Amino acid sequence: MPVSKALQLAREAKARMVDFKFADFMGVWQHFSIPLSELDEDAFENGFGFDASSMKGWQPIHVSDMLIMPDPKTAIMDPFMSEKTLSLICDVVDPITKESYTRDPRYIARKAESYLKSTGIAETAYFGPEAEFFIFDHIAFDQTENGAFYRIDSEEGRWNTGREDIQNLGYKPRYKEGYFPVSPTDSQQDIRTEMVLEMEKVGIHVECQHHEVASAGQAEIDMRFAPLVEMGDKLLWFKYIVKNVARRRNKTVTFMPKPLFNDNGSGMHIHVSLWKGDKPLFAGDRYGGLSETALYFMGGILKHAAAMCAFTNPTTNSYRRLVPGFEAPINLAYSSRNRSASLRIPMYSSNPKAKRIEFRTPDPSCNGYLGFAAILMAGLDGIKNQIDPGQPMDKNIYKLSPEEMKNIAQVPSSLDEALAALKADHEFLLKGDVFTEDVIEKWIEYKMESEVAPIRLRPVPYEFGLYYDI
């Protein structure tokens, strides 16, 4: 959409305000707004200033000035503002040199798309994430020097079957049995539908919505695949819409991978395919109907999976989900149909255009721009170096004997382990200057200092049960 069209959209919609949205280093949307009278064609060239020292992992205070550059192609009316507001997603640039900011996640994603084309392997990488989340009715948490707690509640929570202080009608999904029940057990059909309809207003093509496996309102809404940068944008719209619809209904949403003990966590299985023109490059006559290119792509993912987890599973909480027994794909293997492998080949359709791979390890706490870019770079490394993914695993991995399990690698068991893997293995990310040493170093530094180290300092309540009387 050219600048003139974006301005025309604002006028025709009778917008009074303009909202600029951009992703910080962690992949969380930030924003500020201006009156529509302040937006003209020159503004798209000159940008708007902001303080980047107040953003996680970005500029130090002595060089804090940065510019956001609105992308006119992303113009859409925001569905939640009380005044009619034009929304624009922005890129971040240096105010002196006007060069793109190396730590801008959207810029990294754009470079990944450019690098793909430069290799001649393919022209487009499509990504289709299946983001899961929880819809709760109440959340409270605190941490002080002499105490810590969190308390979650949901009218669907199985733990509420015995409550007598309210009218209790039952119909609460059993732990690990929340997949696909009809109402009244599924009490959240209407709120998920409302989320879908809001997504359609901003141009997101939704394929399906349903209740997920866990008790207490676990949900999934699936978006149709899109190119890398476009899907990075859509994933942020997705989170924005889901949270705001929940807030409108006096509920709260979390994309935290493992908020509940002893029930399934939230993953974000990511479907990936490469195309050259109108030709799908992952369809062929090899295992699972894949091409040799697709097998090498999976080889790259399996080789670099531990390092990629620093971006695809980027929180300490991510590794509460990546444990045996909760359908979490911790084993680095591939298979057709088998959901216990970290890489699956969906077999729903024989149409070559539907042939893709599904990376099941990631979770929805990830920065989509960085996570998708890392997956693409690992896969391309596999193709360029013809990395053999080994033999498929068509057995239920969770039921293999210890002897059979010895040769199957697993994902890291903690964030610091994933960050160490990234430090040791990131050359594949530097190709084409997609990621830079500065980005890798800052990511590791921020995550270690702001997340890993603080978690290490704090006792958790269960430790008192284990050790208080020791």
DSSP state of 285: S
pLDDT in tens, the chain (470 residues): 689 999 999 999 999 999 999 999 999 999 999 999 999 999 999 999 988 888 888 876 676 788 999 999 999 999 999 999 999 999 999 988 989 999 999 999 999 999 999 999 999 999 999 999 999 999 999 999 999 999 999 999 999 999 988 888 889 999 999 999 999 999 999 999 999 999 999 999 999 999 999 999 999 999 999 999 999 999 999 999 999 999 999 999 999 999 999 999 999 999 999 999 999 999 999 998 999 999 999 999 999 999 999 999 999 999 999 987 767 788 899 988 666 789 999 877 778 888 999 999 999 999 999 999 999 999 999 999 999 999 888 777 767 777 777 778 899 999 999 999 999 999 999 999 999 999 999 999 999 999 999 999 999 999 999 999 99
Residues 228/122, Cβ–Cβ less than 8 Å? no
pLDDT score at 393? 81
Q: What is the pLDDT of residue 63?
A: 67
pLDDT of residue 77: 97
- Residues whose CB falls within 8 Å of the CB of residue 292, separated by 6 or more in sequence, listed in order: 284, 286
Give dist(CA 282, CA 292) in Å, integer. 8
Q: Answer whether 218's CB lies under 8 Å from 266's CB.
A: yes
The catalytic site residues sit at: 51, 130, 132, 212, 220, 269, 339, 358, 360
Q: Which residues contact 334 (CB under 8 A, 6 or more apart)?
A: 298, 302, 341, 342, 343, 344, 345, 357, 389, 392, 393
Between the CA atoms of 310, 314, 319 and 324, what dihedral angle is there, to the nearest 10 degrees?
-70
Residue 427 backbone phi and psi in degrees, to 5: -60, -35
Residue 41 belongs to what H/E stretch? helix 41-46
- Distance between CA atoms of 197 and 191, rounded to whole angstroms? 10
Sign of CA dihedral 432, 433, 439, 444: positive
The string of pLDDT tens digits covering residues 155-182 is 999 999 999 888 888 899 999 999 999 9
Say which residues have a Cβ less than 8 Å from residue 378's Cβ, sequence separation at least 6.
300, 301, 303, 304, 305, 308, 428
First to last CA, the chain: 66
Q: Cα–Cα distances in Å, from 52 out to 32, 57, 308?
A: 13, 9, 26
Considering only CA atoms, which of 188, 190, 187, 270 is closest in space to residue 223?
A: 270
| Cβ atoms within 10 Å, residue 203 | 13
Q: What does the pLDDT read at residue 65?
A: 84
**Tokens encoding 222:** 């699936």
- C-alpha span between 373 and 96 (Å, rounded): 27
Q: How many CA atoms lie within 13 A of 96 on its CB side?
A: 3
| The pLDDT value given to residue 338 | 66
| Cis bond before residue 181 (omega within 30° of 0) | no
Cβ atoms of residues 330 and 324 within 8 Å: yes
Under DSSP, the state recorded for 100 is: B
Q: Would you state the pLDDT for residue 432?
A: 96
Give me the helix-helix angle, 105-119 and 228-248, nearest 10°: 150
77-to-198, 201, 231 alpha-carbon distances in Å: 11, 9, 18
DSSP 3-state assignment of 118? Answer: helix
Task: Write the DSSP symbol of residue 156.
Answer: T
pLDDT single digits (tens) 412-438: 999 999 999 999 999 999 999 999 999
| CA dist 237 → 59, 250, 258, 265 (Å) | 25, 20, 22, 22
Measured CA distances, 367 to 155, 183, 450, 456 (Å):
30, 33, 17, 23
Residue 149 burial (CB count, 10 A): 10
Q: What pLDDT sits at residue 339?
A: 66
CA dihedral 335→337→338→344, nearest 10 degrees, is 50
Q: Is 149 helix (H, G, I), strand (E, B) or coil?
A: strand
Tally of residues, the chain: 470
- What per-residue confidence (pLDDT) applies to 61? 66
Report DSSP state, residue 174.
P
Gap between the Cα atoms of 386 and 299, Å rounded: 8
